[in-house]
């Protein structure tokens, strides 16, 4: 189908200083958990974006000097000439598809504890450094500031030699330049105090970087258009005055907001185009092009923001991860095929844990080099095997789509009327509606594949599977929450667990509304305990959430949500008992025990919701494992995240009838 001509505007070139972006699709710098540790993986990942139509592709934050090392988080670096070659590898791959390549030069200042380099952290003043690390910065003197500017210029020249088209001065978030911009910078010299003084370092860096490389490279500035405040009413006063001072100095403004958990907020907390209110003034004070992000997956939203003069370039990190081919799909009138980001931030855990990026929607991200996976291409089938998939959750659906694309004849049987398994159930919980996109994209794809058929309301048993006589059987029957309270804390069932007052999140998702007061025992530590507590509290019940962790939903630190979840839980009036385990269930009460002191107390509880761990539903698999060609995937294999289930289904489909390396199943750097 040809594209809607209204969207032509998205494919107009945009001049950025001495270079021209071929279209308005701009992949902003984003971390990948790769950096200088995994340069080949990184180059292949960035190439995929360019191949998919992103007119500009940037690499991740790139340290300019060992005095800014972010270990254990993986950054890129341009510390010396040794670093040039592997950046050039990425740049060449991006250029091969006609896209511009950008690099975000970075100095963390007080945000870096320098655990790897052991260099003294630097800052505008003597400040606590790193993330709760017991070290402080040296307050930079004039000589330090001169050195910083020299490092920046040297790194910019290396970036130019690597072939980059756009070089950033990174003045946002909580890093060094922003530490100078902050009102907290009350240095007594010309780099602190007044607004003009605080913005002096940024001005000098822009000017000196342009002087050094501005003949061939555009100089972009990443800048916070707000200083914080309420999400929908952020304070933009000072940023506006600063931007007015610097308005036409750089070639491009990449604008964001100060609060990172809002900028890259999950869909539970922030909607598409969430930065619009805080950034829409910027184009009014500069003639230079402006890029900003907003988890854009709708071409209509993109068009509106360009038309209304809010942005010139459609900035994206997550939408380009979930679908590296988003621009091509719009270009070809296939926007119904965009694999839309669900806003879960699983992609961010790679950076947080120092491991390669992964994505709930796109199982191929991060696997481009080490496994040779492509998000849009999959090898044709290796046999005429007919495949039966039992279970239509994320794992079963992904296996069906990918096997179908390979050309296999696939039958999928699902017990329930609705397909989607856990994503269908969980997307009905507060804040998780966008998660249904995992199901919807796959159903849309299956609709285009004549060789994939599915049966709803079909509970398949052992006999039926044997009777169906498929060549391969895939069991994707998922997992159920345990009722007995076993998990990380309890290695044996909790005494009293088998009373009717004990239920699980599955019961609530099936529509059970218990009586209060309720105790939610969360030993899972991801989102479920907090969300279930929210459902029950909103239904008017008295709710206590008890967890052995020291905060609610502690794993969501990695998805940049924990702070917001805890604020929500407390704001709703849910009683939070941290460092606490449920140790027994009685008649109308439970015993809570402090994991630190062993002190116990009885609290009233008409209902207990055990949110501890899950049991794979693998009976069918075990009944048939020795008799037919059968494999289990997804939560039925090992309960995990939705991303894990999708990956498992994809891997099964991709590896069927292929030679998989024995031993380590991927290439290593
Ligand atoms: P995963 O995350 O691994 O995809 P889910 O729990 O989301 O797992 O999905 C499992 C799906 O399997 C559910 O939709 C469930 O209804 C379905 N299912 C479970 N047992 C059977 C069965 N015997 N026959 C058909 N479908 C089944
Ligand atoms: Fe979007 Fe989640 Fe994929 Fe990240 S992991 S790109 S938030 S779908």
Residue-level pLDDT at 230? 76
Residue-level pLDDT at 483? 98
Q: With CA atoms as reference, report the closest residue to 315 among 353, 275, 349, 345.
A: 275
Q: Residue 518 pairs with which residues in a beta bridge?
A: 543, 607
For the question of residue 73 being annotated catalytic, the response is: no
pTM for the model stands at 0.97
Strand ranges (E), 396-443:
409-413
Distance CA 155, CA 105 (A): 7
Distance 360 CA to ligand 2 centre (A): 6
Q: What HEC string does 370-391 produce?
A: CCCCCCCCCCCCCCCCEEEEEC
Nearest-CA residue for ligand 2 atom 1 is 341
Three-state SS at 209: helix
**210-247 per-position pLDDT tens digit:** 999 999 999 999 999 998 777 767 889 999 999 999 99
Burial per residue of 299-332, b for 16 or more beta-carbon CB atoms within 10 angstroms, e otherwise = bebbbebbeeebbbbbbbbbbbbbbbbbbbbbbe
Catalytic, out of 175, 262, 348, 408: 175
Nearest-CA residue for ligand 1 atom 20 is 477
**512-521 per-position pLDDT tens digit:** 999 989 999 9
Cβ atoms of 368 and 44 within 8 Å: the answer is: yes
**290-338 per-position pLDDT tens digit:** 999 999 999 999 999 999 999 999 999 999 999 999 999 999 999 999 9
Mean predicted confidence (pLDDT) in 654-662: 93
Band of the pLDDT at 2, cuts 50, 70, 90?
confident
Mean predicted confidence (pLDDT) in 457-469: 97
Residue-level pLDDT at 539? 97
Nearest-atom number in ligand 2 for the CA of 358 is 5
What is each CA distance from 144 to 77, 121, 138, 139, 414, in whole angstroms?
A: 20, 11, 10, 9, 65
Residue-level pLDDT at 154? 98
Cβ atoms of 645 and 394 within 8 Å: the answer is: yes
Distance 307 CA to ligand 2 centre (A): 27
Side-chain half-sphere CA neighbours of 289 within 13 A: 24
| CB distance 487 to ligand 1 below 6 Å | no
Q: With CA atoms as reference, report the closest residue to 49 among 319, 254, 357.
A: 319
Residue-level pLDDT at 571? 98
Q: Which ligand has the minimum distance to the alpha carbon of residue 417? A: 1
| CB distance 616 to ligand 1 below 6 Å | no
Three-state SS at 467: helix
Band of the pLDDT at 559, cuts 50, 70, 90?
very high
Band of the pLDDT at 156, cuts 50, 70, 90?
very high
Q: With CA atoms as reference, report the closest residue to 403 among 630, 629, 658, 653.
A: 653
Residue-level pLDDT at 229? 74
Three-state SS at 46: helix
**344-403 per-position pLDDT tens digit:** 999 999 999 999 999 999 999 999 999 999 999 999 999 999 999 999 999 999 999 999
Mean predicted confidence (pLDDT) in 471-484: 98
**167-212 per-position pLDDT tens digit:** 999 999 999 999 999 999 999 999 999 999 999 999 999 999 999 9
Q: In this structure, what DSSP letter does residue 661 have?
A: P
| CB distance 343 to ligand 2 below 6 Å | yes
Residue-level pLDDT at 661? 85
Q: Tokens 């190439």 identify what position? A: 47
**525-550 per-position pLDDT tens digit:** 999 999 999 999 999 999 999 999 99
The encoded tokens of residue 357 equal 């990026």
Other Cβ atoms less than 10 A from the Cβ of 558: the count is 17
């Amino acid at each position: 189908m040809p594209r809607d001509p209204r969207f032509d505007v998205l494919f107009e070139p945009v001049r950025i200083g001495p270079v021209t972006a071929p279209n308005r699709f701009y992949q902003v710098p984003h971390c990948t958990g790769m950096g200088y540790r995994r340069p080949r993986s990184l180059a292949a990942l960035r190439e995929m974006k360019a191949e998919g139509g992103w007119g500009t592709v940037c690499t991740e934050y790139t340290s300019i000097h060992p005095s800014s090392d972010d270990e254990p988080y993986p950054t890129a670096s341009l510390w010396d000439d040794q670093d040039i070659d592997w950046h050039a590898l990425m740049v060449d791959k991006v250029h091969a598809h006609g896209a511009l390549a950008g690099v975000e030069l970075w100095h963390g200042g007080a945000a870096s504890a320098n655990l790897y380099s052991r260099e003294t952290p630097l800052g505008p003043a003597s400040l606590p450094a790193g993330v709760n690390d017991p070290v402080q910065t040296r307050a930079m003197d004039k000589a330090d500031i001169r050195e910083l500017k020299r490092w920046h210029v040297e790194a910019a020249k290396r970036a130019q030699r690597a072939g980059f088209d756009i070089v950033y001065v990174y003045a946002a978030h909580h890093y060094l330049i922003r530490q100078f911009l902050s009102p907290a910078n009350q240095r007594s010299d010309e780099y602190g105090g007044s607004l003009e003084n605080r913005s002096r370092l940024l001005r000098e860096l822009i000017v000196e970087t342009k002087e050094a490389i501005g003949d061939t490279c555009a100089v972009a500035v990443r800048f916070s258009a707000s200083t914080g405040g309420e999400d929908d009413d952020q304070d933009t006063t000072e940023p506006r005055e600063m931007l007015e001072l610097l308005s036409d100095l750089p070639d491009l403004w990449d604008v964001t907001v100060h609060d990172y958990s809002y900028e890259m907020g999950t869909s539970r907390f922030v909607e598409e185009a969430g930065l619009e209110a805080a950034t829409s003034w910027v184009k009014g004070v500069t003639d230079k092009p402006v890029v900003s992000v907003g988890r854009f997956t709708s071409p209509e939203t993109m068009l509106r923001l360009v038309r209304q003069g809010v942005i010139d370039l459609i900035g994206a990190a997550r939408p380009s991860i979930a679908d590296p081919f988003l621009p091509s799909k719009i270009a070809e009138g296939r926007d119904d095929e965009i694999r839309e980001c669900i806003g879960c931030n699983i992609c961010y855990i790679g950076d947080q844990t120092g491991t390669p990026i992964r994505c709930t929607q796109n199982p191929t991200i991060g696997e481009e080099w080490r496994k040779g996976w492509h998000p849009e291409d999959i090898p044709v089938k290796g046999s005429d095997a007919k495949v039966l998939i039992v279970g239509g959750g994320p794992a079963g659906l992904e296996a069906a789509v990918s096997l179908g694309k390979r050309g296999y004849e696939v039958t999928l049987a699902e017990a329930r009327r609705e397909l989607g398994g856990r994503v269908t159930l969980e997307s009905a919980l507060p804040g998780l509606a966008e998660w249904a996109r995992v199901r919807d994209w796959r159903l849309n794809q299956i609709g285009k594949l004549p060789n994939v058929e599915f049966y709803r309301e079909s509970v398949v048993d052992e006999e039926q599977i044997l009777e169906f006589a498929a060549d391969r059987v895939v069991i994707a029957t998922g997992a159920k929450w345990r009722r007995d309270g076993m998990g990380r804390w309890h290695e044996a069932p909790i005494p009293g667990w088998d009373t009717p007052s004990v239920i699980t999140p599955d019961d609530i998702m099936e529509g059970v509304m218990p009586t209060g007061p309720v105790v939610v025992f969360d030993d899972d530590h991801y989102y479920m305990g907090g969300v279930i507590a929210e459902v029950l509290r909103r239904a008017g019940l008295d709710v206590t959430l008890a967890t052995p962790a020291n905060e609610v939903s502690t794993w969501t630190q990695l998805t940049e949500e924990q702070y917001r979840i805890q604020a929500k839980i407390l704001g709703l009036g849910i009683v939070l008992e941290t460092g606490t385990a449920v140790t027994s269930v009685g008649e109308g009460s439970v015993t809570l025990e402090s994991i630190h002191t062993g002190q116990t107390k009885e609290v009233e509880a008409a209902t207990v919701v055990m949110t501890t761990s899950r049991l794979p539903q693998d009976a069918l698999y075990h009944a048939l494992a020795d008799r037919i060609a059968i494999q289990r995937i997804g939560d039925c294999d090992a309960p995990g995240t939705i991303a894990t289930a999708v990956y498992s289904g994809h891997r099964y489909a991709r590896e069927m009838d292929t030679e998989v390396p024995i031993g380590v199943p991927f290439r290593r750097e």
